Amino acid sequence: MQSASRIQRLPPNTRGEDYIVGDIHGYFPVLEAALSHLGFDIHRDRLLSVGDLVDRGPESHRAADFLRQPWFFAVRGNHEQMMLDAVGVGGDAADPAARALWYQNGGHWFESLDENRARPLLAAFAALPYALAVELADGRQIGLLHADVPAASWPATTAAIADAAAGSSILQYALWSRDRAGKILGKVEGRRPRGEIDVAGIDRVFFGHTPMPSAVACGNTRWLDTGVFLPRGRLSIAAASDDSLWSFAAGDAQDIRYEWRVPG
């Protein structure tokens, strides 16, 4: 991957809303029901994903269909990276140990795909950026990253990701870290963890990766992975313009929560 493609920058959407969705994990029917409830307009609105489109859910193969849409944008999650490590961009097994790890985390569905469906999906995942930088219509800046920022500020993070060597600890941190998420969970549970929560140099950053008991707003960070694949899991979607939240129960699209958890 060329370093420039690791950061995707989107201009303001002056026609409609930008929505940000948490980890989908193959639950595309839940996503479609949610978008219908929101009145999502494919001609005006955009849907931005924090990654982990696949694994654990019933329709992971449909990720390629969404990635082809001009209104859908996603960052790379650790599950997309596990697939690339396990299979290789060309579709040939790259690493048996990586494949075993991926299968332990829900990757078995890939075995059912024929070559005509597998190769486009691999190519689409290989092209995914690590971060999205989005300008809003009012001039504010938001960012999306799967797990955590590997530097002290958003500008330093995007620079570090762009310059990092393939497979470096910086890229691994962006995909796998639970450091900041652990602090957030500590605050949710009433503890006072040490360390900075806010990300400097940007108005708001949206993360996924670590399942939260509910969608969390803490400082200028937003945490949208609400474990759609879990027994009581939800798929959470936020509006970039005004921070509105919809958290849809995976088993009942009419069961919706609208409030962020704001830990003290």
Active-site annotation, residues: 79
> Phi and psi dihedrals of 157, rounded to 5?
-65, -50
Q: How far apart are CA 113 and CA 69, in angstroms?
A: 21
Interstrand relation of 252-257 and 46-49 (parallel, antiparallel or unpaired): unpaired
Helix-then-strand count for the chain, H and E: 8, 12
Q: Residue 228 to residues 14, 41, 91: CA-CA distances in angstroms?
A: 31, 23, 28
Contact 38, 69 (CB under 8 A): no
Query: Residue 126's CB: how many other CB atoms inside 10 A?
Result: 17
CA 120 distance to own-chain centroid: 20
Q: How far apart are CA 135 and CA 9, in angstroms?
A: 8
Q: Looking at the chain, how many residues does it have? A: 264
Q: How far apart are CA 149 and CA 4, in angstroms?
A: 17
Contact 245, 236 (CB under 8 A): yes
DSSP-assigned letters across all residues of 187-201: HHTT----S--S-BT
Q: Which residue has the tokens 């569905």?
A: 109
Q: How far apart are CA 260 and CA 244, in angstroms?
A: 9
